[in-house]
Protein backbone atom coordinates (compact mmCIF):
# COMPACT_ATOMS: atom_id res chain seq x y z
CA UNK A 1 0.00 0.00 0.00
CA UNK A 2 1.02 3.58 -0.60
CA UNK A 3 1.88 5.84 2.31
CA UNK A 4 -0.36 8.91 2.70
CA UNK A 5 0.68 11.99 4.67
CA UNK A 6 -0.54 15.03 6.55
CA UNK A 7 1.86 17.95 6.17
CA UNK A 8 2.35 21.50 7.37
CA UNK A 9 3.56 24.26 5.08
CA UNK A 10 5.18 27.23 6.82
CA UNK A 11 5.36 30.50 4.89
CA UNK A 12 7.98 33.26 5.35
CA UNK A 13 5.57 35.26 7.52
CA UNK A 14 5.18 32.31 9.92
CA UNK A 15 1.63 31.48 8.87
CA UNK A 16 0.87 27.83 8.19
CA UNK A 17 -1.24 25.61 5.99
CA UNK A 18 -2.06 22.01 6.98
CA UNK A 19 -3.06 19.57 4.28
CA UNK A 20 -2.97 15.97 3.18
CA UNK A 21 -1.39 14.20 0.25
CA UNK A 22 -2.82 10.80 -0.56
CA UNK A 23 -0.03 10.11 -3.08
CA UNK A 24 2.89 11.31 -0.92
CA UNK A 25 4.29 13.37 -3.80
CA UNK A 26 7.45 15.26 -2.84
CA UNK A 27 6.59 18.37 -4.83
CA UNK A 28 2.92 18.67 -3.79
CA UNK A 29 2.37 21.77 -1.67
CA UNK A 30 -1.37 21.70 -1.25
CA UNK A 31 -4.30 23.68 -2.54
CA UNK A 32 -3.97 26.74 -0.36
CA UNK A 33 -5.99 29.78 -1.47
CA UNK A 34 -3.54 31.87 -3.51
CA UNK A 35 -5.51 35.10 -2.91
CA UNK A 36 -5.23 34.72 0.88
CA UNK A 37 -1.48 34.15 0.72
CA UNK A 38 -0.73 36.88 -1.83
CA UNK A 39 -2.39 39.59 0.24
CA UNK A 40 0.17 39.02 3.01
CA UNK A 41 3.24 39.65 0.82
CA UNK A 42 4.59 42.55 -1.17
CA UNK A 43 5.59 42.17 -4.80
CA UNK A 44 9.22 42.34 -3.72
CA UNK A 45 8.75 39.60 -1.13
CA UNK A 46 7.19 37.37 -3.78
CA UNK A 47 10.38 37.47 -5.87
CA UNK A 48 12.27 35.31 -3.36
CA UNK A 49 9.86 33.08 -1.53
CA UNK A 50 10.83 30.08 0.57
CA UNK A 51 8.36 27.70 2.22
CA UNK A 52 8.96 24.69 4.44
CA UNK A 53 7.03 21.46 4.15
CA UNK A 54 7.00 19.23 7.22
CA UNK A 55 5.38 15.80 7.33
CA UNK A 56 3.34 15.59 10.53
CA UNK A 57 1.68 12.20 10.10
CA UNK A 58 1.96 9.12 7.87
CA UNK A 59 -0.43 6.24 7.33
CA UNK A 60 -1.65 3.86 4.65
CA UNK A 61 -5.25 4.39 5.81
CA UNK A 62 -7.03 7.21 3.92
CA UNK A 63 -9.77 7.56 6.52
CA UNK A 64 -7.20 7.95 9.29
CA UNK A 65 -5.31 10.59 7.28
CA UNK A 66 -8.55 12.51 6.71
CA UNK A 67 -9.34 12.52 10.43
CA UNK A 68 -5.82 13.50 11.48
CA UNK A 69 -5.73 16.34 8.94
CA UNK A 70 -8.93 17.88 10.34
CA UNK A 71 -7.74 17.37 13.91
CA UNK A 72 -4.35 19.02 13.26
CA UNK A 73 -5.89 21.98 11.43
CA UNK A 74 -7.89 22.75 14.58
CA UNK A 75 -5.09 21.90 17.07
CA UNK A 76 -2.51 24.03 15.26
CA UNK A 77 -5.14 26.72 14.58
CA UNK A 78 -4.22 26.69 10.91
CA UNK A 79 -7.81 27.81 10.27
CA UNK A 80 -7.33 30.94 12.41
CA UNK A 81 -6.67 33.75 9.88
CA UNK A 82 -4.06 35.22 12.23
CA UNK A 83 -2.12 31.93 12.27
CA UNK A 84 -2.83 30.06 9.06
CA UNK A 85 -4.38 29.82 5.62
CA UNK A 86 -6.78 26.90 6.05
CA UNK A 87 -10.39 27.97 5.45
CA UNK A 88 -11.85 24.62 6.54
CA UNK A 89 -13.00 23.73 9.08
CA UNK A 90 -14.32 27.22 9.76
CA UNK A 91 -12.44 28.88 12.62
CA UNK A 92 -14.50 29.38 15.77
CA UNK A 93 -13.09 31.99 18.09
CA UNK A 94 -13.30 30.86 21.72
CA UNK A 95 -14.38 33.65 24.05
CA UNK A 96 -13.20 33.23 27.61
- Looking at residue 19, what DSSP letter applies? E
Q: Is the entire prediction scored with pTM above 0.85?
A: yes
In a domain, 13, yes or no: yes
In a domain, 51, yes or no: yes
Q: By residue range, what is the domain housing residue 39?
A: 4-75
In a domain, 14, yes or no: yes
In a domain, 84, yes or no: no
Residue 46 and residue 33: Cα distance in Å, rounded?
15
The pLDDT tens digits of the residues spanning 36-95 come to 999 999 999 999 999 999 999 999 999 999 999 999 999 999 999 999 999 999 888 776
> Domains in the chain: how many in total?
1
Amino acid sequence: MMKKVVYKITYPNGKIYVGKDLTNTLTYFGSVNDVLVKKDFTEGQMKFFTVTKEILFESEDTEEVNKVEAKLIVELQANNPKIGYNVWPKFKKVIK
